[in-house]
């Protein structure tokens, strides 16, 4: 029978795989502190306990999306605004709840008129291993366009939709618990032909990454894919792939620290030739305060800055 996450495990999953907060270090005394013009606190119109509102967030062009993958089926709230005037415009709920804690909204990606929502917990009554829902903004309303799921899900493992990313006509969906490749974990790549999203490739964890949670975080930008694997080695890592035609090839493994339990790859971000890799367990000032590593690509290679 297909396994699902208990309430306790779901809470841990949300905590582990949702977007991780970055600690902003105060500037040196010689510099003036930045001035914050305004602070806006977004809350759900139907706020409730154990909602986990804010577990995942995304923003683009004046639209913000906030995930609330609660202990029920989960939901995603959209807001529009500018400097201060933010208004809730819509609440998206799981269009096909499976009767178990789905974790709909555990991951979110947003670009222009495309919103991708991950639901990593599978259906105990089918072979589904999680799903990702693609919405289009049509006439000011987010409309479900397509549901992405694995063609041959690795029953009975959940995890597809733990992480999602979108760039132009490419969507990446991570499944860190996929056991089908030479390692543990995978990322499914979908491309749009104008009307539908089709599976282009399945990037599997390389050999030697057993139980590495490859795919717990993903970021795609044009023809570059950045994949987090928090359990790779002793400190975690981020894998860099590039696309030629429809083929994705491993180019580099980013391992900026050797500290045990650093959690490198817990979160990743990518834009142009700059990559950011989170490591919440990295020692800072003698304690495990966490860190974020910034890399810049020069001559095809990402170099730690």
Mean pLDDT of 38-47: 84
Residue 142: which domain range? 7-26+39-262
288, pLDDT greater than 80: no
Query: Comparing 100 with 37, which gets the higher pLDDT?
Result: 100
Answer yes or no: is 299 within a domain.
no
Better-scored residue on pLDDT, 96 or 57: 57
Contact 188, 129 (CB under 8 A): no
**Residue 194 buriedness (CB in 10 A; 0-12 / 13-18 / 19+):** exposed
DSSP 6: -
Q: Is residue 204 part of a domain?
A: yes
Which DSSP state fits 236?
A: B
Count of domains for the chain:
1
In a domain, 301, yes or no: no
Task: Judge contact between 53 and 66, C-beta under 8 A.
Answer: yes
Q: Is there a domain that residue 245 lies in?
A: yes
Q: Which residues contact 167 (CB under 8 A, 6 or more apart)?
A: 111, 220, 221, 222
For 76-109, the three-class secondary structure string (H helix, E strand, C coil) is EEEEECCCCCCEEEEEEECCCCCCCCCCECCEEE
Answer whether residue 75 is part of any domain: yes
In a domain, 225, yes or no: yes
pLDDT tens, residue by residue, 198-251: 999 999 998 888 889 999 999 999 999 999 999 999 999 999 999 999 999 999
Query: For the segment 10-31, what is each residue's pLDDT rounded down to a tens digit?
Result: 343 444 433 333 332 333 433 4
pLDDT digit string (tens) for 151-196?
Answer: 776 656 678 999 999 999 999 999 998 887 787 899 999 999 999 9
Looking at residues 111-133, what average pLDDT do you find?
A: 82
Locate 186 and state its tokens.
């995978």
**pLDDT surpassing 70 at residue 38:** no
Inside any domain, residue 272: no
Is residue 285 a part of any domain in this protein?
no
By the 8 A CB rule, do 49 and 95 touch?
A: no
pLDDT for position 106: 95
- Give the CATH number for residue 138: 2.130.10.130
């Amino acid at each position: 029978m297909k396994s699902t996450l208990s309430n306790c495990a779901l809470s841990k999953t949300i905590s582990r795989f949702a977007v991780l907060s970055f600690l902003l270090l105060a500037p040196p005394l010689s510099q003036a502190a930045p001035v914050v013009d305004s602070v806006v606190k977004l809350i759900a119109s139907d706020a409730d306990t154990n909602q986990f509102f804010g577990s995942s967030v995304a923003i683009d062009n004046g639209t913000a999306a906030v995930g609330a993958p609660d202990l029920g089926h989960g939901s995603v709230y959209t807001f529009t605004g500018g400097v201060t005037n933010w208004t809730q415009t819509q609440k998206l709920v799981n269009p096909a709840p499976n009767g178990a804690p789905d974790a709909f909204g555990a991951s979110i990606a947003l670009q222009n008129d495309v919103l991708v929502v991950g639901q990593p917990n599978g259906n105990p009554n089918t072979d589904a291993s999680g799903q990702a829902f693609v919405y289009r903004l049509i006439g000011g309303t987010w409309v479900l366009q397509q549901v992405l799921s694995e063609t041959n899900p690795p029953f009975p493992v959940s995890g597809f939709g733990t992480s999602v990313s979108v760039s132009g006509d490419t969507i990446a969906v991570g499944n860190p618990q996929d056991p089908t490749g030479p390692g543990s974990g995978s990322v499914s790549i979908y491309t749009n032909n104008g009307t539908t999203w089709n599976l282009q490739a399945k990037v599997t964890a390389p050999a030697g990454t057993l139980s590495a949670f490859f795919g717990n975080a993903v970021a795609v930008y044009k023809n570059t894919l950045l994949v987090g694997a928090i359990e790779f080695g002793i400190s975690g890592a981020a894998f860099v792939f590039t696309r030629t035609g429809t083929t994705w090839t491993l180019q580099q493994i980013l391992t900026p620290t050797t500290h045990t339990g650093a959690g490198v790859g817990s979160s990743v971000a990518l834009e142009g030739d700059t990559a950011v890799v989170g490591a919440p367990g990295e020692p800072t000032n003698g304690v495990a305060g966490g860190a974020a590593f910034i890399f810049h690509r020069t001559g095809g290679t990402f170099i730690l800055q």
